[in-house]
Amino acid sequence: MSFRFDRFATLYLFNPLRSHELGDKRSIPILMYHSISDDAEMGVHPYYQTATSPQRFALQMKYLRDSGYRTGSPGEIAAQLQTNAEIANKTVVITFDDGFRDFYHGAFPVLNECGFGATVFLPTAYIGDDPVSFKGRDCLTWAEVRELRKHGILFGSHTVTHPQLRDLTALAINEEITNSKNTIEQELGCAADSFAYPYAFPQTDAGFISMLRDTLRKAGYQSGVCTTVGRANRKSEPLFMERLPVNSWDDPALFHAKLAGAYDWVSKSQYVAKTGKAFLRNAFQRG
């Protein structure tokens, strides 16, 4: 088993410190899943893996159910956090990126059994009448998406082609954002007003974030999530709410600690590291 510093620090440093935290406690865990499969992802460090085994996923969902959690949607949580509305105790948002087909067979039956809803973010270029491969895995078909929608699963945009948005022009970004939204709405006949940012979120690039926020708002999006680690709270940007990544390496102790807030330290450390690298890079270029 590969050593995970993040797990060690979470369980043995930050989890014990949580009892001494002060301030606003109203934070909502938004879980970020990708593939529900037994893919071992050989050669990928546990922190960066995105597959969760069906057995591990079932245990996690049953823990949430038995612990009294209820599920909400990104839109509901964003609205409640921004308006200071009352949020039910033990609320969790369950999200899936990339629209993989194993959601249909590996995740939905468990969610349905537990009485949970979820939001799946679709890269629409890979959702077709027949299964289309993306990242080596088949994606959902539109027929499967429509069937899942009838059973309460929500769908949002994950762009059209899942690009690195920072590498695109403003026009191309707008097309990725608006075309994916329009396609989902045409296929499902309902609003698609939630967005998931693909790849690592550029926390330190304020100019890009501002431009993207304006573009999303003009396109009609009301809520969104990103890959910044942590729980959503009243200070969160409603279009870029934080999430907690989950994979097969999330044993019960780590999963419980993430829900409780002991993993929120990760985003702060990443922000400091990125800010320091940017400062050094700019200093070197000036020199």
| Alpha-carbon span 238 to 91, nearest angstrom | 17
Element (H, E) at 7: helix 5-9
DSSP element (H, E) containing 121:
strand 119-122
Q: Which residues have a Cβ under 8 Å from the Cβ of 59 and sit 6 or more positions away?
A: 252
Q: Among the residues of the chain, which ranges form H helices?
A: 5-9, 15-17, 54-66, 74-83, 102, 108-114, 142-150, 170-188, 206-219, 252-260, 265-286
Give the model's pLDDT for residue 144.
Answer: 98
- Residue 215 vs residues 25, 38, 53, 182, 221: alpha-carbon distances, Å: 31, 37, 36, 15, 9
Model-level pTM?
A: 0.93
Tokens of 152: 């309460």
**Residue segments in the chain with a per-residue pLDDT below the cut of 50:** 22-24
Domains of the chain, first to last: 5-286 (3.20.20.370)
pLDDT of residue 26: 81
A 10 A CB-CB count for 251 gives 12
**What integer pLDDT is reported at residue 280 of this predicted model?**
58
Please, which residues bridge with residue 52 across strands? 36
Burial of 30 (0-12, 13-18, 19+ CB in 10 A): buried
